[in-house]
Structure 1
């Protein structure tokens, strides 16, 4: 039996709370890429890891990782002048810099960005969570998806975010994704988002899903995703509670580690990241 264990690492480009590893996911990503490389791990596209898990690709390198970004903030793709912390390289710029540095030793450098579909929801989140900064746009999605170093995937219609006035959840209860208990709610969050995102990145299709907050209901995991494949066209869904992708992982709640989350859900320091890598061997 294969003993492959793939760590999938998650970052948020809107996390710019300082100019240190612990307070800035851009600094963390810059440093982490180099640690991952120095420890002998190959960075591969998330789709390759999922393809292996589903039995559609051959087993990847025994020492590999995948990189994901959540929420689809513009800083995934666009450099930004932060009003408090100054020039901030986008995740794209950081990836390209590392790609140039590593050369053919990292031939598959790639990341996946899970984005929020609803333009209205993104405007509410911009206003309340980002203090009015216009940082959740979709004009860059197609360029990113077709770039060869990024793919755009589905992070729901409205994130069930507290800032959004009316959400898909039937009782308008916000702040978690463990209360999506009906077909209609799931269609609203998953299929509707997929169709919107798919139009923006056509002819590609966002066939992977990441649960907002990393949480999910028994219904969406146990019934909606496995029983209505023709409706949502999603291949697999991801949580955020830590753990490695293995052949025994559950398809509709695949594990990821999150930057700045306490172990075992993620890591806060370079030493904690190194420990995750060591445990993958």
Structure 2
């Protein structure tokens, strides 16, 4: 298993070309992956393979994720500077309408969502467009679609726009500061419970570190002690390597659009290296 996990941020809209807009990049990448013979599979398949719970043929497979859980993930929205944006979910539907279900039968996107409603409101006003486009009303419909899974991206991202210090003395803007049981309970356990209550019977089983900030306390101590008990099977960072059966269970690497690749050619190089 050498599976590239590709990550997008639907709030990354600074223009309407590949390099400046993750919606444009996502649509182009779906076509390129299909045209070059890559099979898109659900992220939980990679976890099941890593944990020895499945033995699928995952050669030339790729998984798709997006972070934060904005309304741009699910709804088409009119961006005030850059116009109508087709949601990532609808781009999946568009791809399926063009090519048919048999073309990518396991087509899937994992959305890592921020749980706390007040934090999402604060982030929308401080960092996005201030249109309250970080809601949760679409989570259940997305989860029920079979094309999307809603997973855990922490309680409040420990975002710098929030009151500092946060609960248990959290230094805002740095997820590396989650270094005690109290802080981890606030950021990860609380998010698990909130998401599970809104998505039942689905309960999140995957966690993604905000900012890609992975520390030894979480990856080597708290999550190994508590992850399974709260329903988590694995966690994801941003290590820019393919996921393999040897990947750290609580720090499986991903590639980030706009950081690890900024063009179709750069993504093609990542895929060539993985293959």
Give TM-score scaled by structure 2 length.
0.97
The equivalent residue for 2:263 is 269
- Equivalent residue number for residue 27 of structure 1: 24
Structure 1 residues 230 and 252: CA distance shift in structure 2, 3 A: closer
3-state SS of paired residue (2:168): coil
Q: After TM superposition, give the deviation of residue 230 of structure 1 in Å.
A: 4.8
- Give the aligned partner of residue 220 of structure 2: 222
Structure 2, unaligned stretches of length 5 or more? none
CA distance in structure 1 between the aligned counterparts of 2:232 and 2:165, rounded to whole angstroms: 21
Q: CA deviation at 1:167?
A: 6.4
**Displacement, 1:106?**
0.7
Counterpart of 2:186 in structure 1 is: 188
**C-alpha offsets along residues 20-78 of structure 1, whole Å, 9 cap, x if unaligned?**
10000000000001111111010001111111111111133311000001000110000
Q: Secondary structure at the match of 2:176?
A: coil
Match among 38, 43, 54 for residue 57 of structure 1: 54
Q: Equivalences for 1:237-256 in 2 at 5 Å?
A: 237-256=235-254
Q: CA 1:167/1:211 → structure 2, altered by over 3 Å: closer, same or farther?
A: farther
Retained in 2: the 8 A contact 1:237–1:254?
Answer: yes
Instruction: State the partner residue of 2:63.
Output: 66
Aligned pair count reads: 274
Contact 1:14 1:73 in 2 (8 A): yes
1:240 touches 1:255 (CA, 8 Å); kept in 2? yes
Give 1:40-55 correspondences, 5 Å limit. 40-55=37-52
Task: Provide the TM-score with structure 1 as the length reference.
Answer: 0.95
Following superposition, the deviation at residue 168 of structure 1 comes to 4.9
| Per-residue CA distance 1:105-129 (angstroms, 9 max, x = gap) | 2111100000001111111101101
Distance 1:93 1:137 in 2: 17
Contact 2:154–2:188 (CA<8 Å) still a contact in 1? yes
Question: Within 5 Å, which residues of 2 pair with 1:120-139?
Answer: 120-139=118-137
Q: Using the alignment, how far apart are the partners of 1:111 and 1:176 within structure 2? A: 27
Q: What's the counterpart of residue 76 of structure 2? A: 79
Secondary structure of the structure 1 residue equivalent to 2:169: coil
What is the alpha-carbon root mean square deviation over aligned residues?
1.2
Deviation, 1:94, is 0.5
| Cα contact 1:49–1:60 (8 A) shared by 2 | no
**Alpha-carbon offset, residue 236 of structure 1:** 0.2
Structure 1 runs not aligned, ≥5 long = none
- CA 1:157–1:209 in structure 2 vs 1: closer, same or farther (change >3 Å)? same
State the partner residue of 1:14: 11
Tell whether the 8 Å contact from 1:180 to 1:216 is kept in structure 2 after alignment.
no
Which piece of structure 1 moves more, 25-34 or 97-106? Answer: 97-106
Partner Cα separation in structure 1 for residue 257 and residue 239 of structure 2: 11
